Amino acid sequence: MDEVYSSVLTETSAQIKVEGSRFIADVFPATDEESAKTILESVRKKYYDATHHCYAYVIGAEKKNVRYSDDGEPSGTAGIKIHSAIQAKNLSDILVVVTRYFGGTKLGVGGLGRAYFESAENGIAHIKIVSKALVKELHVAFPFSETNPVMNVINSQKLKIARTDYTADRSIITLHILPSQLVPVQLLFTNATRGLAEISSGNSITVVWQ
């Protein structure tokens, strides 16, 4: 699994024409199956008079949550081709719907597969890429007297602060840490504060990573 992966920032749309048929590729960010299905239904309603609404989505840092559909086109000519276009750019948390308006000329299995791939590829070419990461929350609680050592570790390791909280006698900084950083960073904080920092891990979440 890649710790940092590429995804789509905002939705976009592009279209091509092949032998009279119109192929509209709509590309969306999608972080879970429920949102992907909701978006798919909205596309079907938008293009209610279209011949087919074929799609593929890939979700998660591990890229294991994958679905695709030919929506009535010959098997293997649409959904898997759209998925191949997504794979070619190594993207995740993405839904691509290719809507076809049949133009009267049959493209054949090979031509149809090329048309769906090219349409998806064209749609993806117009997206804005964003880096995302599945990170672990790391909570570092420390006396005010240890602020400088803690901040030195954060700055030297270029760690990302999610938020800072305060009690009467201490600060609590929540960091977003890549899995590979977790153990060595905890050790750095322990050494820098001579064991005065209390360190605990929290939830695993997906965040934009810059």
Residue 136 to residue 101: CA distance in whole angstroms: 45
> Is the Cβ–Cβ distance between 133 and 61 less than 8 Å?
yes
Q: What is the pLDDT along the chain (210 residues), one digit of tens a residue?
A: 678 999 999 999 999 999 999 999 999 999 999 999 999 999 999 999 999 999 999 999 999 999 999 999 999 999 999 999 999 999 999 999 999 999 888 999 999 999 999 999 999 999 999 999 999 999 999 999 999 999 999 999 999 999 999 999 999 999 999 999 999 999 999 999 999 999 999 999 999 997
Among 132, 131, 139, which residue's Cα sits nearest to residue 175? Answer: 139
91: closest CA among 59, 55, 136, 125? 59
Domain 132-208 sits in CATH 2.60.120.10: no
Q: How is residue 178 written in tokens?
A: 């890549």
Rounded to the nearest angstrom, the gap between the alpha carbon of residue 30 and the centroid of all alpha carbons in its chain is: 7
Report the topology of domain 4-127: Ribosomal Protein S5; domain 2 (3.30.230)
Q: What is the pLDDT of residue 210?
A: 77
Q: C-alpha angle with apex 43: 128 to 23, nearest 5 degrees?
A: 75
The DSSP H or E segment spanning 86 is: helix 79-88
Eight-state DSSP code of residue 176: E
Rounding to the nearest 10 degrees, give the CA dihedral for residues 122, 127, 129, 130. Answer: -140
Answer whether 166's CB lies under 8 Å from 142's CB: no
Each domain of the chain, given as residue ranges in start order, spans 4-127, 132-208
Q: Are 149 and 140 in contact (CB under 8 A)?
A: no
Q: Report pLDDT for 1.
A: 65
183 CB-contact burial (10 Å; exposed 0-12 / middle 13-18 / buried 19+) = exposed
Residues 81, 128, 36, CA angle at the centre, nearest 5°? 55
Q: Is-above-0.95 flag for pTM?
A: no
Closest residue by Cα to residue 78 from 87, 65, 86, 69: 69
Number of H helices, E strands in the chain: 5, 10
Give pLDDT, residue 123: 97
DSSP state letter for 91: B
Name which of 96, 95, 84, 91 is nearest 61 in CA terms: 91
